[in-house]
Amino acid sequence: MNLNDYEKKYFSTFEAFAETVRFILEKAWLAADNLPRPQSVQCRAKGIESLRRRLAEEGKLDTQTLEFDRRDLAAPGSSSTPIMTLTASSHRH
């Protein structure tokens, strides 16, 4: 996959994936009283401009293997710009 493929074909898939993971985690927290709950859950797909900037920094704007070159497209917490952020809280709901 290249940057154009990500932007035109797959960005919405990664957005949906992030939302699905958030939904599953929120349902799990609701179902389990003994789990600590995060203060907030945020998710998003890697932004096109941010991705373009990172690829340019690495000299990989023309990559055809984006999914291998940038592991933070769908892996929460795998880079400095994760698609999902969990903020811990000591409060129980």
Domain that residue 40 falls in: 3-87
Over residues 56-80, mean pLDDT: 77
pLDDT tens digits for 21-65?
A: 888 888 888 898 887 877 777 788 888 999 999 999 999 999 999
Residue 61: other Cβ atoms inside 10 A: 13
Domain tally, the chain: 1
Within a domain: residue 50?
yes
pLDDT at 5 over 70: yes
Which pLDDT score, from 0 to 100, does residue 37 have?
A: 78
Within a domain: residue 31?
yes
Within a domain: residue 93?
no
Within a domain: residue 47?
yes
Residue 63: other Cβ atoms inside 10 A: 16
Considering only residues 43 and 69, tell me which one the structure prediction assigns the higher pLDDT: 69
Query: What's the mean pLDDT when you consider all of the chain?
Result: 79
Whether this model's pTM surpasses 0.85 = no
Within a domain: residue 92?
no
